[in-house]
């Protein structure tokens, strides 16, 4: 128990302060504190409780069902442009918040996906998911959305290549993460 408190010595005071703040906000009817709890914390907490178990089940199934050799062949170090297009397609068709992409990215890397493709996947997930594009087109128009996508795709490919070179130069391995 001491090790747990030592490990989270900076987090525990913040959690206690949040609990005290929200508790006193409800007691004194302090509307900003109540809204912070109800709209920010509680909605995010419910979303995570609902999404995370399903997401980890799907990632576990992916880990068991997809062999490492298939990942290495299609999106590994030697996959080139085809691998980049495949990870972008994977990212484009997924839905959900950004924290859902990190376990998938870790699993891809663990299975032999090149670092370049992992960074391209994360970048594509954040900027070009098809479910979010439909909302963007509805609010900002088709011309703006297409222009934004055409600008961002080369940018995150370039970022992926730069980060991949950085990982190669610094000899980063999966067991170091």
pLDDT tens column, 33-49: 889 888 888 888 888 88
- Contact (CB, 8 A) for 26 and 36: no
Taking residue 32's Cβ as centre, other Cβ atoms within 10 Å add up to 8
Taking residue 147's Cβ as centre, other Cβ atoms within 10 Å add up to 12
List all residues 6 or more positions away from 109 whose beta carbon is below 8 Å from its beta carbon: 115, 118, 174, 177
- Contact (CB, 8 A) for 138 and 98: no
- DSSP H helical segments within 28-141, as ranges? 31-35, 43-65, 68-75, 80-93, 101-110, 115-127, 130-140
- Give residue-wise pLDDT tens across range 75-97: 888 888 898 999 999 998 887 78
Give the mean pLDDT per block of 10 residues along the chain (177 residues): 81 90 92 88 85 82 84 84 91 83 88 90 89 87 92 91 87 60
Torsion angle (degrees, nearest 10) of CA 132, 37, 42, 60: 80
Whole-model pTM: value is 0.73
């Amino acid at each position: 128990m001491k090790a747990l408190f030592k490990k989270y010595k900076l987090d525990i005071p913040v959690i206690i302060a949040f609990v005290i703040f929200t508790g006193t906000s409800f007691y004194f009817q302090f509307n900003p504190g109540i809204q912070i709890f109800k709209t920010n914390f509680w909605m995010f907490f419910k979303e995570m409780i609902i999404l995370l178990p399903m997401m980890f089940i799907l990632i576990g199934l992916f880990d068991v069902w997809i062999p490492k050799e298939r990942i290495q062949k299609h999106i590994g170090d030697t996959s080139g442009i085809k691998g980049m297009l495949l990870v972008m397609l994977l990212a484009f068709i997924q839905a959900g918040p950004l924290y859902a992409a990190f376990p998938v990215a870790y699993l891809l890397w663990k299975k032999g996906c090149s670092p370049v493709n992992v960074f391209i996947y994360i970048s594509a997930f954040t900027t070009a998911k098809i479910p979010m594009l439909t909302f963007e087109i509805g609010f900002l128009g088709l011309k703006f959305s297409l222009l934004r996508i055409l600008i961002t795709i080369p940018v995150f490919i370039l970022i992926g290549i730069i980060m991949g070179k950085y990982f190669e130069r610094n000899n980063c391995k999966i067991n170091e993460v």
